[in-house]
Structure 1
Amino acid sequence: MTTGAVWLATWLAQGSAGMQWEPQASGTTVRLRGVSAVDGRVAWASGDKGTVVRTTDGGATWTRAPVPDAEALDFRDVDAFSDRTAYVLSIGAGDRSRIYKTTDGGAHWTLQFTNTRPGAFFNGMAFWDERHGVAFSDPVDGHFVVITTEDGGATWKPVPEGALPAALAGEAGFAASGTSIAVHGTSHVWFGLGGSVARVLHSADRGKTWSVAPTPLATGEGAGVFSLYFWSPMAGIAVGGDYKQPEVKTGTAALTLDGAGRRWTVPEKGLGGYRSCVAPLTREKKPWLIAVGPTGSDVSKDSGRTWEPLDRAGFHAVSTPPRTRDTAWAVGEEGRIAKLRLTDAAPAPKPEPP
C-alpha cells in the first residue's frame, strides 16, 4: 500500500463526526437483509435460511428466534415493536412470500399470510402502528398488489386493483432491505419501484387512493428505488441506484420537499454509490440521515441535500430506534451486524496528505 493510500485509509477509518461502526457477534453466518431497532437495547435482524436473531442488551449478545419449518425462506424484512413483538416477511415467488408474527420474543411464531396469487413476489412491509400495516408485491398482469391489515396481522386484505395506477412494462420492486416501502403518521404510505422506470407510489389514506410520480434515480434491470424514508408528509428521500454497478454514484438519491412526493430532485452532493437502505439519525441534537450499501455508508447533516462518506464497510440494511434515533444497527453478508457508536468528542482533524 502506498503512503497516500495509508493516509486515506487512516482518515476513512476515523469515521465521520465522531461516529464509528462497531462489529457485534451475531451468532450466524448467513446473509442478513432486515433489521429493526426498537430502542438502544432491543433490535431484531433477519435473513436467509429462515434466520431471525434478537438482542435485548444493546448487542452484547444476539440469540436466535427460529421460525418453524422456515429453513428455505429468505426473510428480507423485519418490523419489531418490543423485545416480545415482531413481524417478519419472506420473499419469493408463490407461497414463499409470507408474513409471520411473534408476541413472545420469538419462542413461537404465527403464520399470518401466505401468498396464493400466481406471479406475485412481495418486497416489503411497513406499519403505522402495531396493529395497522401494509405490504406490497411486484405487479401481476399490469396491476400492483398491495395488502393491508387493521388487526395486528390476523387478517391481510388486498387493496382493490382499481385504486392503484397501472404498472408499466418492465416495472418491479426491490426487496434488498425491505425498506422500499415507508409510512408516516397514521395514514401515509409510499413504495418505490425500478426497472424500466424509477417511480414512487403514494397514498394518504392507507391505500384507498393512490398517486404516482417519477424520480431521477437510475433505471435498468437492476436499478431503481431501493429504500424510502419520509420525515413528514411533505418531505422525504429515496435511495438506490444500480446494484449491478454499485460504485456508480449517479442516480442513487432523490429528495422530495413539495408534498407527498409529487416532484423529486437530485441532492447537491450525492452518495458514494448504490445504497440499499436509508434511515434517520439524531446527532448533535439535529436530524441527520444515514445510508448503507455494499460499498460503504454515508451520512447527511442537512436532510439529504449533501452527503459525506462514513465508512467503507458494506451493509444491506440499517435501522434506528423510532423514538430516539440516537444509534443505529446495520446488517450484511455472512451474518455481519454492527452498531454505530456515537461519541461526544469532536472528530479528529483531517490529516494532511503526504
Structure 2
Amino acid sequence: MRKMIFIMLIISVLGSCKANKAVIQNPVYSKIEVDTLWNGKISCRALSIDTDKVWYAGNNGSYGYLSLSSEANFNGTLARESKKLEFRSIAQTTKYVFILSVENPALLYRISKEDSQVKLVYEEHHEKVFYDSMQFFNDSEGIAIGDPTENCPSIIKTADGGATWQKIPCNALPELADGEAFFAASNTNLISKGNKVWLVSGGKKARVFYSGDKGNTWEAYETPIVQGGTMTGIFTADFYDESIGMIAGGNYEKPEQNFQNKAITFNGGKTWALVAENQDFGYASCVQFFPDSQGKAIISVGATGIFYSNDSGSVWYKLSDDKDFLTLRFINKNTAVAAGKNRIVKITFKE
C-alpha cells in the first residue's frame, strides 16, 4: 500500500512538472497584425513606451507621443537656428522624457510629461561628436554614449534626474581601437539592467563593454560578430536579464549577409556564441526579447524583414518582408510598437 502511494506521488509530481513546463512554453507565432498609429515624413529610430503612450523622436527635429488608448496625440518640432536636428536617442523618468541629437552640436532636451515644456539640459560642440544611445537607471541617474572624440567612448552621465549632465574623462573609460565606434541604429547599443550596463561597438572591432556599477568601471569582452570594415559589427543588443543577452548587426553594406551577425550569451556577456549561421535574417537594426519568455523568445527587424525565434535564436521564423522598420519596443508579451521610414505602427503577434 505504501509503495503504491509512493508511486502515485511520483506520477503526480511528474505530471505537475509537465504541466508547468507547458505553461511557460513560448508560442510559435506565424503571423502579425499591423495597425498604423501614425503616418508622416519621418525617419524614426527612437521609441519609449510610457503606460498608454509611446514617445518617439526622429529626424527634422520631430518628436512627440502617440496614444495607445484612443486619446489625443502630441507632435512637436525642435530646431536650432537653421540646423535640422536628428534625434536617435530617447529615454525617460517618471516626470520627463529626454531626447538627444546626434551631430555637432549635440543637444539634449528634457520634455515635461505634464505640460510638454522643453528645456535644453546639455550641449556639446566638437567636430567628431555623434551620440548614439541613452538610458536611465532610475529617476535620478542616467547615461548616454557616443562615438569617440578622443580614444575612448563619449559618455555623459546625470545624477540629478537629467537636470545637468557631465562628460566622463577618457582616463576613466576603456580605450577604443582605431576605427572602433558605435551605431545609432535603434537606440539599442546601450542596455541597462539594475546597476549593470552593456555597450556594444562596431567598425574595426565588435566588442561588448560591461559595467557592473552604472558605468564607473568597465570591462571589455570580445565577440564573434563580423568586424574589420567601416560598417560592420554590432548594431543592436538586448538583455532579458543580467545573464541572457542577444547581439546582432552584421554588414550594413551587404544587408543579405547572414553569417557572423547574431550571437547569444548566457553569462552576462563574458562569452558569446553565434546562432543561425548562414540562415534567416541578414543585417539587423534592432533585436528585443519578448517579455515573460524566460529569455527564449526574440524579435528582429532590419533589412531582410521581421523575424521571430522562440528558442534563444537557434531557429527563426519570418513574419514579414517589411524592411522599413528600424526599431521596436514591447507594450506587453504579444504586442509591440515599431517605427522606421514614414510610419509608427502597433504590431500584434498571432499564433
CA contact (8 A) 1:198 1:214 kept: yes
Distance apart, 1:189 and its partner CA:
0.9
CA contact (8 A) 1:65 1:107 kept: no
Matches within 5 A, 1:1-354: 17=29, 19-39=31-51, 41-58=52-69, 62-67=73-78, 69=80, 72-81=84-93, 85-92=96-103, 94-95=104-105, 97-104=106-113, 107-185=116-194, 187-219=195-227, 220-258=229-267, 260-268=268-276, 271-282=280-291, 288-314=297-323, 315-321=325-331, 324-333=332-341, 335-343=342-350, 347=351
CA contact (8 A) 1:188 1:205 kept: yes
Once structures 1 and 2 are overlaid, which stretch shifts more, 139-148 or 246-255? 139-148
CA contact (8 A) 1:281 1:327 kept: no
TM-score, with structure 2 as normaliser:
0.83
Distance apart, 1:107 and its partner CA:
2.7
CA distance in 1, matches of 2:269, 2:292: 26
Which consecutive aligned stretches of 4+ in structure 1 deviate over 6 angstroms post-superposition?
A: 283-286
Distance apart, 1:257 and its partner CA:
1.2
Query: What residue identity is the alignment partner of 2:156?
Result: I
Of all paired residues, the percent bearing the same amino acid is 29
Q: Which has the larger radius of gyration?
A: 2
Query: What residue identity is the alignment partner of 1:196?
Result: K
* Residues 29-61 of structure 1: per-residue CA shift (max 9 Å, x gap): 12112112233x311122110111311234787
Distance apart, 1:80 and its partner CA:
3.8
Query: What residue identity is the alignment partner of 1:188?
Result: K
* Residues 245-301 of structure 1: per-residue CA shift (max 9 Å, x gap): 11111122111112x311111014654111111112237898521111132111121
CA contact (8 A) 1:65 1:106 kept: no
> CA 1:81/1:104 → structure 2, altered by over 3 Å: closer, same or farther?
same
CA contact (8 A) 1:196 1:221 kept: yes
Distance apart, 1:66 and its partner CA:
3.0
**Structure 1 regions of 5+ residues with no counterpart?**
1-15, 348-354
Query: What residue identity is the alignment partner of 2:50?
Result: V
TM-score, with structure 1 as normaliser:
0.83
CA contact (8 A) 2:196 2:242 kept: yes
Query: What residue identity is the alignment partner of 1:263?
Result: T
CA contact (8 A) 1:143 1:167 kept: yes
CA contact (8 A) 1:291 1:298 kept: yes
SS in structure 1 of the partner of residue 171 of structure 2: helix
> CA 1:20/1:81 → structure 2, altered by over 3 Å: closer, same or farther?
farther
Once structures 1 and 2 are overlaid, which stretch shifts more, 296-305 or 189-198? 296-305
> CA 1:179/1:267 → structure 2, altered by over 3 Å: closer, same or farther?
same
Number of aligned positions between the proteins: 320
CA contact (8 A) 2:299 2:307 kept: yes
